[in-house]
Chains A and B, each alone.
Chain A
Amino acid sequence: METVPHPPDVFTWPSDEPQLIGARCPSCSAITFPMATSCPKCGTPDLAEHLLPRRGTLWTWTTQDFLPKEPYASGETNETFRPYGVGLVQLGDEVRVEARLTEADPAKLDFGMAVQLVVVPFREDGDTTTVTFAFEPVQED
């Protein structure tokens, strides 16, 4: 079995406590995700890699209840499609990131709920499992 992270360079992997790899502007300190060629706030090139907090809170969310058209590449069909949640997750006081949620039931999602980054299977191709990042609800400490 082979496990392939997708995207290959936006979360720390393998890791027991994965984190998203963002960018920090050396000029204006804006934090963005993922790494980019220049700062969207001030235009400065040469951003520094910046590991984002693993835990955050759910700022807003929705569910994806229909199979997206191409370029969606999960390998699913209308018959096998499993709906997924998508959230805008606030990571500390740094940035909000858009990410899949492991929960797709509106009754189990709420504004401000605590979530943490996990790496989950995305698609299977023979002996290869593609994994990606998502946030899962957690009990607050």
Chain B
Amino acid sequence: MLLSGLEFGGTTALREVAQQREVDARPGTAPAVLGVRHLSKSFGPVTALRNVSLDISPGEIHGICGENGAGKSTLVKILTGVYRPDAGNIFVNSAVVSIATPRQAQEQGIAIVAQELSLCPDLSVEDNIWLGSLRVPFLHKRPELRRRAAEALNLLGAGYIALDAPVATLGMGERQLVEIARLLTRDARVLILDEPTATLTDVEIERIFAALLAVKREGRSVLYITHRLAEVYTICDRVTVLRNGELVATRSREELDRGMLIEMMLGRPSGEMYPQETPTHGASALHVEGLSLPGVVTDFAMNARSGEIVCIAGQVGSGAAEIVAALAGLVHDADGRVTLDGKPLKLGSAVRAAQRGIMYVSGDRAAEGVFRRLSVLHNLAATRLREFSLFGFLRGGALRAIASRIAHRIGIDRRRLRSRADELSGGNQQKLAFGRCLERRTGSVLLMNEPTRGIDVGARAEIYRLMRSFCEEGYTLVMASSDLEEILGVGDIIITLYRGRRVGRYARGEVTMHRIVADITHPMEPRA
């Protein structure tokens, strides 16, 4: 590989030379609207960002890729005034600026479209666009503001959104468009989008992309942070890859193929993202018939054998997530005939499900996955307390030993056992959720709901490997996901779902991406 000598084996000095050459060699670019030079930031012993330099040209969509912990969010937080850098400078239009608070960032024309949208759901679209704007005078002309809000929405191709509609009535994608319109009215010159598509459907994603291209045509720039490599190729002009807080390279889209991009992110050849399926399947373990969730799912049936991964594919809102949650006992009005190891299981109680060896890993780590305020040790020991206690007292040493072993198995540094879970990256937090399900009794069922949501490529690969080791331990795995590549990669059995009804069931290799997309978006007729 051409890159390897320079980018991976090379010393820091070499890398700097390479970066410099690249900056110089870029032909015909206008002066950067936003630039950073030699930016560094550490948190105690952990270096989050080391000597990072990059430029964003006017009218450019600039992608930032990297695993969790690569320094993407630190960079964003420095640019938006949440963190101060330890060293290095920020340039706006070639002048050094100091960005100490989010408000100063706004004054410099740098604006972020937050992952957690900052809109007030009960106010109208128009009010939300102007809410908190420094440009609204105390005595303002309402028609003028209204006209400008409409202009901003029109520009984004979102003119169909009614200015008077309460934001609560809009979908997630439309809310993002409103948020972008809000930033446009504030004259943002650089828009930062941090994983904007994580919660959106395909149609919504396309609308966002169209809006970003419109922003670009206006001569404004976009800093686009994403895990999804496909999006890089759809929309970004140039891509900067970060790894372990250092800048690996900035490349234009044409110079970069997918394998190269993955290799740059991981620092090693991408290899097999999805491990091979386990050859042996056990007996039928989990059998579901006539499962109904009022208003969401109608008459769903499935059968899962131990040692295999069953994927339920469906778009957001199709009911796939709810099916998995119902099997975990988390939906109280679920109704259906479920048998586990030949014995019936009554739905509606998480405690009962857990007693039968059903475990649940959610993609929503903060809400139902991880004990964020507790230590890594406590998180890994969470499901084992009964096993490792004597007359109600915990056997601390034994718990520590098992937690340490599990930490090693899931690839978390044992020295971090005492760290709080929320000090870990998203991928590592998710590995904690998986870790607490490992090495439970054989014949357990592991239910997963979007298990890799918001997780980078490296941690994903590790989680897929973990899934296979669950299979080897004789678990039965059921996963709901809307990520089609993932479904095709890990699913031994794939069940497609459309609006709460099962469409098809396929074994591995029997089905193409095209078929699945057709099934979950507009099925022609129900299939066997």
**Do A and B actually bind?**
no
Interface residues of B (CB under 8 A from A): none
